[in-house]
Structure 1
Amino acid sequence: MNIYIVQPGDSVDSIAASQNVSVEALTYDNQIYPPYRLAVGQALYIRGGSPPEDRIPLYVFGYAYPFIDPDNLDETLPFLTDLYVFSYGITLEGDLVPPQSPDDWMIDRALEAGVRPVLTLTPFGPDGRFNNSLVTNLVHNPQIQQRLMWNLGRTMQEKRFGGLDIDFEYILADDRQAYADFVKRTTQIMNQFGYQVTVALAPKTSAGQVGLLYEGVDYRLLGEAANRVLLMTYEWGYTYGPPMAVAPINMVRKVVDYAITEIPLYKISLGIPNYGYDWPLPYERGVTRAETVSNLEAIQIAIENGAEIQFDEEAMSPFFRYWKFGIQHEVWFEDVRSYKAKFDLIKEYGLTGAGYWQIMQFFRANWLVLSQMFEARKVGD
């Protein structure tokens, strides 16, 4: 495996010749389509030989909505251990709210591919946003929890889910202990029926970190309560925030440094983003809104606007600026370099998992880099 950075004057033919790969392999691996245009600074995956036999086993999963493109899902499944179906909500009474689109078809395809489907549980309110009132109501009421467990068990059996992911965010500080107790109780019940329970954790860098996203999340208690945890190490750059990398590796490292002091290594999965953002400039807090773009869309924007892609060595993330209709934009996204940096961090710390938010857009080069460094565990391994 090699990574090549496009230089001025390069073409797919000249790069393929210089790297001793076929044009077909280069364009297929990097999803380069006719007329085969490139952006200066674009990072390309260059395939080598077969993956080494001593690859480290890794628990790999990705979140997906039921409206994911079927071909995209089929191409992604071979690289996954689990497929996290997003998502099932809850009512004040403890009933489940299924996804708006049918999910049976994606569960079928996951099982056919030897991938375990996992039910993702979220406390979404009627507006589609995380609702901490639903969390408070649930974690302090044993009767509602009992009803929820019954509904979860029935749904998981009927739908053939193989595990449960608890993705609660914006938990109130006063609910910190009760939430951890709820996760522990849920894990104990689910484990009796052979279901693994994962809990998603906001990216904290210290126990006393302030803010609504962090104060109700106790790494030690939740790490003890669940079978596995996902560190949601992304969204430093976000829709309403200032332009910056979505998952700067220097900040990701700080989260991992703290997490391993509270949670056993064998339980930790690193969160990995599969998207970027395009901000109009100048940025004005409360006014500016970034547009979400896929990694391939970001590259096309650079190509169409003649922008040269830069690389931030501290954040280990690509970015560029361009002008359109008199407005300057700044784009941050992920490429093979930024993904490899995250995979290197997983190896460095000895983490055992990687979880993608989300897999709705297929970025082949990411999976090829991953498969050169790790071997996705399969259920039962």
Structure 2
Amino acid sequence: MQIHVVQPNQSLYGIAQAYSTTVNDLIEANEIPNPNDLVVGQTLVIPIVGSFYWVQSGDSLWSIAQKFGVSYQQLAQVNRLSLTQPLRIGLRLYIPRKARRNAEFNAYVEPRGTTVAPVLEESAREAAPYLTYLAPFSFQALRDGSLKEPLLNNFPAIARANNNVLMMVITNQENDQFNAELGRILLNDIPIQDRFLNNIVATAKKYNFRDIHFDFEFLRPADREAYNRFLRKAKARFQAEGWLLSTALAPKTSREQKGEWYEAHDYRAHGEIVDFVVIMTYEWGYSGGPAMAVSPIGPVRKVIEYALTEMPASKIMMGQNLYGYDWTLPFVQGKVAKAVSPQQAIQLAATNNVAIQYDTTAQAPFFRYRDKDGKQHEVWFEDARSIQAKFNLIKELNLRGMSYWKLGLAFPQNWLLIVENFNVVKR
């Protein structure tokens, strides 16, 4: 597969011709929301095996081969070229696909309200073939050690049909807010803690959960060691059942990082105790803050590189957002940006006739537009380029894989690029 960035005056027909594919294949693969009104800067994933490259001034077989990680002899052979033949500028070369490495993928799915929306269930069904784990969010712990269950509907059946490990996500939330006092009780009151673990085991057996995943956030700094002790106790209990244990971690850049989100999360201890962690490397740009990339690659890299000093790469799943935000400018504290899917962002750019730009430092697309009331907006989202940059980082740092927050917002290019880059591990 190949990522193509739409240029001025390009049409789907012309792009399809250039890559020896069809318009229908392009529309279907990318679920293009604006086939008759492409936006300059919009990305398309070209559904071909391998990719094409057009020779530029100064290129040689050797330099092109280096760029794509193949041998120049193989490049000459597949394109039926002599090793000594000069390359004509504009010549189209076929680049064979490189070998793919194994990786694991998780996606959270969060039912809200009293019923599961059909679109959410369909989103899980479409994503499940590309996932190792499917994680309904969340079982909320109660102060007596019991559990408030999420709406599960057909999620266990979807996981079973696609050979996904069903992940039991457990949070210290009350009224959908993380609560430090609830965490204190669960981590320090041993009779309640034992009842809590008993209820987890009974529930996991009931629904066939095979990974128990603690997403305990905003704990008291004083409960750091209590959390570590609890995880050791849980690990022994769940290992006896043949289950995995995983945790969600705040995106830290140092061991002693201050702040209520960070201090109780001990990267080194989690790396020793649990089977893997999900590091929440997103929400630098968030709904209640100023406009910026949601997961800029520089800060993401900094967090992961710190994590690698505390735990093995094989235990790290990089967190990744499947959404962006539309901010009204100027930013005013207290105003909330609207979440948008990549598909919705493209349609917004098309409707408002503005080009999509790409920030090469953040490795993220964005654009600005003015609404019908004359208000300026700024939109940051994800596209094929930004996701490929994260996949490249996973491969460079040899991480376990990626975990998505969250299903329900369409981003078909992401799933195409998983297949291009990795063999999805099924357990």
Work out which of the residue numbers 68, 72, 76 in structure 1 matches 2:127.
76
Larger Rg, first or second structure (1 or 2): 2
Q: Residue 243 in 1 paired to residue 294 in 2? A: no
Q: Residue 54 in 1 paired to residue 99 in 2? A: yes
User: Does the CA-based 8 Å contact 2:139-2:149 persist in structure 1?
Assistant: yes
**Cα deviation 1:306-342 (Å, max 9, x = unaligned):** 1111101011000111100111011100000000000
Alpha-carbon shift at residue 104 of structure 1 (Å):
4.0
Q: Residue 130 in 1 paired to residue 178 in 2? A: yes
User: Does the CA-based 8 Å contact 2:34-2:350 persist in structure 1?
Assistant: no
Q: Which runs of 5+ in 1 are unaligned?
A: none
Superposition CA RMSD, Å: 1.5
**Match of 1:155?**
203
**Match of 1:257?**
305
The equivalences for 1:314-353 within 5 A come to: 314-324=361-371, 325-353=373-401
| Matches of 1:336 and 1:53, distance apart in 2 | 18
Alpha-carbon shift at residue 65 of structure 1 (Å):
2.2
Highest RCO, 1 vs 2 (Cα 8 Å, sep ≥ 6): 1
**Match of 1:302?**
349
**Match of 1:19?**
19
User: Does the CA-based 8 Å contact 1:181-1:225 persist in structure 2?
Assistant: no
Work out which of the residue numbers 93, 106, 121 in structure 1 matches 2:155.
106
**Match of 1:119?**
168
Alpha-carbon shift at residue 96 of structure 1 (Å):
0.3
| Matches of 1:83 and 1:110, distance apart in 2 | 6
**Match of 2:190?**
142
Is the partner of 1:198 in helix, strand or coil? strand
Q: Which runs of 5+ in 2 are unaligned?
A: 51-95
**Match of 2:330?**
282
Is the partner of 2:343 in helix, strand or coil? helix
| Matches of 2:3 and 2:276, distance apart in 1 | 32
Work out which of the residue numbers 139, 159, 175 in structure 2 matches 1:88.
139
Is the partner of 1:251 in helix, strand or coil? helix
Q: Residue 44 in 1 paired to residue 89 in 2? A: no
The AA in structure 2 aligned to 1:318 is: P
User: Does the CA-based 8 Å contact 1:104-1:159 persist in structure 2?
Assistant: no
**Match of 1:65?**
110
Q: Residue 228 in 1 paired to residue 286 in 2? A: no
User: Does the CA-based 8 Å contact 1:246-1:276 persist in structure 2?
Assistant: yes
| Matches of 2:294 and 2:350, distance apart in 1 | 21
| Matches of 1:287 and 1:293, distance apart in 2 | 19
User: Does the CA-based 8 Å contact 1:294-1:361 persist in structure 2?
Assistant: yes
* Greater mean alpha carbon deviation, residues 336-345 or residues 40-49: 40-49
User: Does the CA-based 8 Å contact 2:342-2:410 persist in structure 1?
Assistant: no
| Matches of 1:311 and 1:209, distance apart in 2 | 31
The AA in structure 1 aligned to 2:6 is: V
**Cα deviation 1:103-140 (Å, max 9, x = unaligned):** 141101210111111110011112x1111111111111
The AA in structure 1 aligned to 2:357 is: Q
| Matches of 1:356 and 1:148, distance apart in 2 | 27
Is the partner of 1:117 in helix, strand or coil? strand
Q: Residue 173 in 1 paired to residue 235 in 2? A: no
